[in-house]
Structure formats: C-alpha cells, structure tokens
Structure 1
C-alpha cells in the first residue's frame, strides 16, 4: 500500500504536489494547535510553543515517509516562525506595540519571501533535495527514517526554535521602543533584502543555458560566495537585537543566532562548496579569491 501511495505521489503534477504540501501543513499545524489548546495553564508560552513545534515536525516527518520525500519538510523552516511569533504576540499584554508590529511584519516578510523562493525552485514530489539523496546514499546501516527524522527534520526544527527564542522577549519585553530597535530594523530589513537580491541574481544566472557549469561571481556574489546564507544569518541576529532592546535580561537568547552561525559555517557552507568543487571547474580558485561569508570590501 505504501508503495502505491509513493508512486502516485511522485507522479503528481507540480500543482498537485503543492496541494499535498498544503494539506500536510494544515494537519501539522492542526496538531500543534491541539497541543496549545490542551497544554496546562502553568506552562510558559516558550514551552508550549516548543512542544507544539515538535509535534508539528513529527506530523510532517510521518507524511514525508508516506510520500517518500524528505523535502516535504523544507518549507517548515520558513512557515513555522511567523505562526509561533503571532501566537506569542497574542499571549502577552506587556510588550511595546510599535516593536511588536515591526517584529511581526519583518518575520512575515521574511517567511513569505523564503517560502516563495522554495516554491519557485521545487518541481514536485518527485523532486528531493540533493543533500537528502546524498545522506540516504551514505547513511550506511543507519535506517533511513532515523536520518530523516533526526538529521533532516528535528535538527533544523531545534535550530530554528533556538533562533526564535529572542522573539519572545522582543514581543513581551516592556522597555519602550528605542535606538537599538532602529538598529534591529535596519539589520533585519537589510538581511531580507540581501537574501532577496542574492536569490534573484542566482535564478537569473541559472536560467541561462550558457551558464551551466559556470560560477556566479557578479553582483552580491562577487563579494561573498554565499550571500544568501549571510542574509539568513543576519536576519536572526536582527531578531536578537529586538529581544535585547526589549528585555536585556534575556541576553542569553544569543544562543539562537550563534546556533545559526554554527549551522551554516559547519554544515551548509562546506556542503555547498564541496558540491561546487565537483561540478564547476575553477571553483577552487574562486574559493581562494572570494570569502565564504563575510564580504570583501573591494
């Protein structure tokens, strides 16, 4: 029966595949809402959101196994944060209204942009992220479901939740809107803009057949090899600045953006660089000339 489900899912059109994704996320967030509704009143909103986040991830994991496509999880990175942030905003009456508005607006803009970018590049349930195929091929004797659940789904959910920790004090902190909030707005908005420009430049470059196998080294890609990752990291640091402005006692939530730095520097960037070394001649020279993350100034 599972084989029938998998084969039918893989044959779905792009529109049909996106409908499956939409339905899967409705189920996941329905399960998360059940956690919210049934959680004890004594639980802090951070704990409620964390448990609901894990439950929603487990639902997506089960459904990704049913359709045999771990990429069903990919939109979760950008879809979950605005839902969590909006619920936190509804649970507190102590925050500064102007700060709350900016935080929620920027998180929503970021989420819509990133989810849209995923939708643009995903062709359907037959399409699996190359990194997942690589993990599946090199997992050895480890069962695939363990790799899928632990490495592909739970780990990013935990990292994103760490990144969201500063959003709670940003929304609930009572300090009035100030200069640090302005800095946070600039950092977060600039980060979103950088990601947007980087993705548009990459889409334009990849769409030209003559660029197959070549290296994008113009525009923002001329100054850093991974401007999209730089923008993503800066976005989470911007959220931390909002939290610091609202409630300095929550400074320890810096573990969120630090976790993002570790994820991209230790995992995402090395993976992408190794893939480019295999597929693009001259990439080794490009790595020597262009920094991985922090942009060169000339």
Structure 2
C-alpha cells in the first residue's frame, strides 16, 4: 500500500507538471491544441516515474511499450499540426468564454481535465509498479499481442490516411481503403487496443485487475465522447460520408458491407 501511495502521488504530480508546462507553452503559442502532442508524452512520463517506485520486468516492459505508443503519437500529431491553426474542437470550447478569460477557461476545461484523465487511465501502470516482481506470464504475453495489434492499427491507419491526403487526385474524396474500409476510425480503435493490452500486462499483479475501468474509460472517450463521435459530427456533413457510414463499421473492425445499389 505504501508503494502504491508513492506511485499514485508521483503519477498525479507528474501529470500536473506536464500539463502545467503544456498550458504555458499553449499560451505562448496561442494554440490550445498543443495539448494533443502532450497527451501521449504525459503517459510516457508517468510510466517511467512508476519504474522508480517498483523496479522489475513488468513496470519496465510497460514503460517501454508506453514510450513506443506515446512517442509515436506525439510525433505524428506534431507533424500533422505543423503550420495548422487552432483545432476546431478547441475553438468551440473556447468560444464559450470571453476573450480576456480564455486562458483560465482553457486551463480548467482542457489542461486540468486531461491531467486528471491521464492520471486515472494510467492506474494500471501505478498498481503494477506497487505489486510484486513476479515473472511475466501468459496473460502478459496476450497483452503484448493485443498491444501490437493496437499500435499496428494506429500506425498503419495514420500512414494510409496521410498517403491518401497527399495525392491531389483524392481531394474532396472520403478515405475508404485499407484499414479504413473495415473501421471508420482505425487509429482510435488502435488506441483502445493499446490500453487493453497494457491493462492485461499489468493485471497479472493483484490488484491491477481491478483497474479494468482504465481501458473502459479510454475506450469510451475514444468511441463515444471526445473521439470518434465528436469527429463524425463534422465529417457527416461532407459529401459521401453518410454513405461511407452505412457500409463501414464505426469503431470495431468488421468486413465492409456491400455498397448500396445506385
């Protein structure tokens, strides 16, 4: 219990520091969307802090995997955001506050919320660091495979979309090829699978299995809250997207349905 308290306090402090620094950078740049780059990195920081509390094969493996996931995500978002303006999602949030109070409003509604979300979602990492140092078993092996599936969906889906957008012939078209023919959000599905894999690796150490709400919360936000649903509220207005929705699974990959007859 003492090691868990140390891990959880350090994790909460780490999330607060990372998001606090990010808020200052966002204020300097005039872009709240810089928080999207920090989202993956805050988990990386928490994961390595946890290895200081509970050294051993499990916390170390989790830290390495989180670094692979969070580093790739931060690099991808930074590359995509170069030269772009504020994200429409954050513009909509900030529009609810008067101009002179926008930064304080963003701190409360974006940076504090994301710091707390990162703290809660990272609970499997914290509990695994506080547990015993038993060897990795077959459940961890399954978790590793699930993690690989998730990171594969994210990386391949993002690459396919980037190539599609880079082709001038695809301007105004809807991406419905490759993984995007099986799910409308392969990157969000991959994100969820990553955290189910990390939870499985952690769950071999009691009571980490009780932190199952962590991947559940992550999946909920990705599929139904701030992720896919929010994006589709805008995408559904584009020509061809409603038809794409009819033939393609929203989140979990499924074989594409036949195109409706014209």
Same fold (TM over 0.5): yes
CA displacement at 1:141 relative to structure 2? 5.6
Aligned length: 251
> Structure 1 unaligned runs (5+)?
1-40
CA displacement at 1:65 relative to structure 2? 2.3
Counterpart check, 1:71 vs 2:30: no
> Does structure 2 retain, via aligned residues, the 8 Å contact 1:102–1:185?
no
1:52 matched residue in structure 2: 14
1:157 matched residue in structure 2: 115
2:166 matched residue in structure 1: 207
2:199 matched residue in structure 1: 240
2:249 matched residue in structure 1: 291
> Does structure 1 retain, via aligned residues, the 8 Å contact 2:54–2:131?
no
The whole-number CA distance in structure 1 between the counterparts of 2:127 and 2:143 is 14
SS of residue in 2 equivalent to 1:108: helix
CA displacement at 1:151 relative to structure 2? 2.8
> Structure 2 unaligned runs (5+)?
257-262
**Deviation string, structure 1 residues 184-219 (Cα, Å, up to 9, x no partner):** 100111111110000000000111122122111110
Match of residue 182, structure 1, among 137, 141, 144:
141
For residues 105-254 of structure 1, what are the structure 2 equivalents within 5 Å? Answer: 105-124=64-83, 127-137=85-95, 139=96, 143-174=101-132, 175-245=134-204, 247-254=205-212
The whole-number CA distance in structure 2 between the counterparts of 1:170 and 1:188 is 17
Q: What RMSD over aligned residues (CA atoms) do the two structures have, in Å?
A: 2.2
Normalising to structure 2: TM-score of the pair?
0.87
The whole-number CA distance in structure 1 between the counterparts of 2:128 and 2:79 is 32
SS of residue in 2 equivalent to 1:44: helix
CA displacement at 1:146 relative to structure 2? 4.4
1:84 matched residue in structure 2: 46
The whole-number CA distance in structure 2 between the counterparts of 1:150 and 1:268 is 20
Normalising to structure 1: TM-score of the pair?
0.77
> Does structure 2 retain, via aligned residues, the 8 Å contact 1:173–1:243?
no
> Does structure 2 retain, via aligned residues, the 8 Å contact 1:180–1:241?
yes
CA displacement at 1:234 relative to structure 2? 0.9
CA displacement at 1:67 relative to structure 2? 3.0
The whole-number CA distance in structure 2 between the counterparts of 1:216 and 1:114 is 20
